[in-house]
Structure 1
């Protein structure tokens, strides 16, 4: 450890990691740079936006059998939102990074590249690339700016520092190609993790988070829409992309003042089955609806998606469609998908068959989201199913994500939300599409076989008609179950 005096205020600044080049003074925000036997003042570093992350400087854990301590942090903003990169010092003296984005975590360490790597502009999300002899799928391509930092960092960084990064995945394995310093990228490799898997200690608790989230903005969890003045509830630093429920203005809340990105379109107000702010108690944990949006496919079918958040549990989605309600979560471990054209994917040694491939367009949105969303946004959706479980890939020009969903009975929703679930709006649960299709096919076959029997006045026709009625009723009763 090296301790120096801050050239800005004289306070002690610690360099725990030998790899650290700069450190941000905790008292006056001066960026201190080690320069041989002296230190230099690089100017003030913007304070990070205190968000809902449970990690903080000093948090510790274990990854890959090695203990680590969080010693630094940079906060980056890109077109769709913000994320944190935490600088780690391992007990053996090596270092790495803990990526923290919307409750998903990855730990990576720098790795020497053994072969030519693709150019930044040549990479397309959803396509596969050979990296060090392994096949990875491009997940996200970002151009980002540093908006704040704290603690120790391994390179000179300040306001306006630009990052160009590409994230690639293979199952639970994770690779980042960092093109920030030139055309030849630095290669970082690691895995997707959870805070529980890393046995993290010294994390912020709920009380600390509530007390500090959005601190430099001077308000917590609410702001007035600068377009119409309506109050908007959100999560500072996590859900920085807002859509005003009253005027549909698109807002960016990643800075000290909320900025209007686009004026709201004149659209009819949507009455949803779950209002913004509704709370659900799931396994004794309280979740809150913070955002909602409607989507439509190319055949005119529409559905509503609700974003729920809990400080320790992160995010999950509830989807209300003609096929019933489903609970969906973004996947950290991806299935094996040979190409965009493949009709099967493999996950945990199980095969999922492709059902649909269609564009999904946002038609309305309101509330807070952990990425930027607006009416008119389009993604290509690929759906795969195995039994009751479904996987969905959503592909845009800059990102590919995977989610897993399972059915939720309407009675279960009522138990979670109570009176907050609007019974006059909630769709009735219906049978899965495969069940409905099968029953209709059976009706068609029985109808064909019944034609000759219509001219046979034996008792056989009675049983055929009874079977047809039974199938018809079972389909409609299935559709009305739980209503």
Structure 2
């Protein structure tokens, strides 16, 4: 759609001068309240809505930064979409490029125009949520959400081709994480955008507005009492705080009474209107709902709505005294099929813990969605303590993701003080981080520690000289079972090292005891060892057996540099033996006649490595058993538990 190139125009209603700051913008709000559309032939007033009481953080003139480029906000389209309100802020960058800044409920995203002929009205008419389509070359997308904008309001100056009174939006996501949004303005008139989610902090917004939404008074049809709505227009439903009568917003104009009643008298543990700081954000608690699963278990939990004019909405969920802090997320996982039970997000593996639909059995206060049609939604919870991804799917609207994180009752009690009664806690919560470490992480850390120790051991072994300083065979005298030998003038030159003694004795169903003393010639300090060598074998019940070894190794460690003498002593076993030929009396018969000793200086002691590895393996095993025990308890209430249980569990 072409527009007039003239920057200065006059309002057709009041003749005020209008200034279009960008050649492509085509709608502007006049100070008289009129909505002016710029066309090829000039300007024309249209009966579109305007934002009459702006209160948002962002405003025309707000400045920010994205991808290192500065931008300025020109205006916005506030779209009233089924179950929520969303802002399309038009922003202009220093290079003149126009983009949308999507904002709503604390979620921010940048919209960049994408040209594609694969998205048509016919395609959108015949597509359902979770359907797959090739929308860009080589990339398949899944339809996650579809909405109808039934009303929009203008503030400032914007770009909206054809300026339709209503439009449809379709949100797609690829398995690679790319996201597209198609806006159908008219039949076969579409604009498509590449959507990139960002944080409020990363935008470095300045020249912002004091975000304080005006309070809206509502008189309950049932009890005739007034209730103050603090989150309007973002809140789409509420239950009267006096009598519990339920209402939902219809067409963005009026709240319609719903023919539902609270079926339980259970109240909130945190008072409505309580204010507190959670994770550094100031919140006010504006809504409470008690929900119940629509299955044989009928499990119930409590959910609280938190509102911050600056940061949007958050939720607190409580079950059996365990709390989860939850916020909606746009940069969420993308599941290829409904049957997915495990996925990885942010380097963490999440597993399916629960799947259910639910109904609200008790409610008070406000909700940023229609809380009373949620029987239409199917929820799935994927956990990786202390976090949980919650996926809610509605056949009419699509898929919404929430990211939750465990929060303690103590932290909440500190935030809300006397406004809260901390409920009793039982069992292990679904995302309670009690001793939780994934088995994969235990294996990775344990394997990494062992690998590091082996690497260090190999590197240090390269520095050892492994010098052979003695290699001798020592003989026993025929009639003597104990011998001693001395080796003098042994020079050890490292500030601290070891001696390795490799001992061999040809024992046969007998033993030999070898000991040694290393004497510092200058200081008289002694270092000693004792090492037995024994080997036994035989037959028992038709099978051979053996025990011991003819070769043993021992060490003297932490030996300082110096001149030493080495004294070797040995004792052999002597047996009584009868003569089977002469029948003479038994005589002493030595078992061995010699033994051999090799002495090596500055060697690698593999046993030290083993002594280091064993505690690591033992610690990892103990930790694994503790984690497994806790995980069995955590998954006990899950229909997707990987564990088996008996009647005693």
Of 124, 128, 134, 2:128 maps to 124
Which residue of 174, 180, 198 corresponds with 1:175? 180
Bigger RCO of structures 1 and 2 (CA < 8 A, at least 6 apart): 1
In 2, the alpha carbon distance for the partners of 1:22 and 1:92 equals 21
Alpha-carbon distance, 1:149 to partner: 1.0
Which of the numbers 170, 182, 195 marks the counterpart of 2:200? 195
**Aligned positions, number:** 424
Q: Which moved more, 1:121-130 or 1:180-189?
A: 121-130
Where does residue 393 of structure 2 map in the other structure? Answer: 395
Q: Corresponding residue for 2:417?
A: 418
Report the Cα distance in structure 2 between the residues aligned to 1:359 and 1:183, rounded to whole angstroms. 36
Q: Distance in 2 between matches of 1:434 and 1:80?
A: 29
Distance 1:406 1:22, change over 3 A: closer
User: How far did residue 362 of structure 1 move?
Assistant: 2.5
**How far off its partner does 1:263 sit?**
4.3
Q: Does 1:250 align with 2:247?
A: yes
Q: Which residue of 1 aligns with 2:290?
A: 294
Q: Deviation per CA, 1:433-459: give whole Å up to 9, x if none.
A: 699xx9xxxxxxxxxxxxxxxxxxxxx
Is contact 1:50-1:237 (8 Å) kept? no
Q: Which residue of 2 aligns with 1:307?
A: 305
CA distance in 2 between counterparts of 1:226 and 1:194 reads: 41
Whether contact under 8 Å (1:52, 1:238) holds in the other structure is no
Matches within 5 A, 1:93-172: 93-113=96-116, 115=118, 119-132=123-136, 133-155=138-160, 161-170=165-174
**Aligned-pair distance for 1:99?**
1.6
- Do 1:172 and 1:332's aligned partners in 2 also have CA atoms closer than 8 Å? no
- Distance in 2 of aligned mates of 1:391 and 1:266: 28
Q: Which residue of 2 aligns with 1:278?
A: 274
Instruction: Evaluate the alpha carbon distance shift between residue 100 and residue 253 of structure 1 in structure 2; reply closer, same or farther with a 3 A threshold.
Output: farther
Structure 1 ranges of 4+ moved more than 6 A: none
Residue in 1 aligned with 2:441?
none
TM-score (normalizing by structure 1) = 0.79
Q: Is the partner of 1:120 in helix, strand or coil? A: helix
Deviation string for 1:120-151 (max 9, x for gaps)?
A: 23333344443213233333210112332122
Q: Which has the larger radius of gyration?
A: 2
Deviation (angstroms), 1:29: 1.9
Structure with a larger share of its residues in strand: 2
Q: 1:221, CA displacement in angstroms?
A: 4.8
Determine which of 84, 87, 94 is the counterpart of 1:84: 87
Instruction: Call closer, same or farther: CA 1:137–1:107 in 2, change over 3 Å.
Output: same
Give, in whole Å, the separation in 1 of the partners of 2:236 and 2:356.
29
TM-score, normalized by length of structure 2?
0.60
User: Matched residues in 2 for 1:401 and 1:64: separation?
Assistant: 27
Q: 1:308 Cα shift? A: 0.8
1:254: Cα distance to partner? 7.7
**Aligned twin of 2:78:** 75
Q: Secondary structure of the equivalent of 2:378?
A: strand
Note the C-alpha offset of 1:21: 2.0
Structure 2 CA distance for aligned equivalents of residues 283 and 153 of structure 1: 35
Cα distance, 1:377–1:364 mapped onto 2, change above 3 Å: farther
Deviations 1:401-439 (A, max 9, x none): 22222222222222121111124xx2425313699xx9x
Structure 1 distance, partners of 2:431, 2:45, is: 63
Residue 229 of structure 1 pairs with residue 227 of structure 2: no
Q: Any gaps of 5 or more consecutive residues in structure 2?
A: 1-5, 436-628, 634-649
Give the CA deviation at 1:45: 3.2
Which residue is equivalent to 1:65? Answer: 68
Does residue 1:12 correspond to 2:30, yes or no?
Answer: no
Name the CA shift for 1:235/1:49 in 2 (closer, same or farther; >3 Å).
farther
**Counterparts in 2 of 1:375 and 1:430: CA distance versus 1, 3 Å:** farther
For the residue of structure 2 that corresponds to 1:416, the secondary structure is helix
Question: What's the RMSD between the two structures over aligned residues?
Answer: 3.0
Please give the secondary structure, in 2, of the residue aligned with 1:179.
Answer: strand
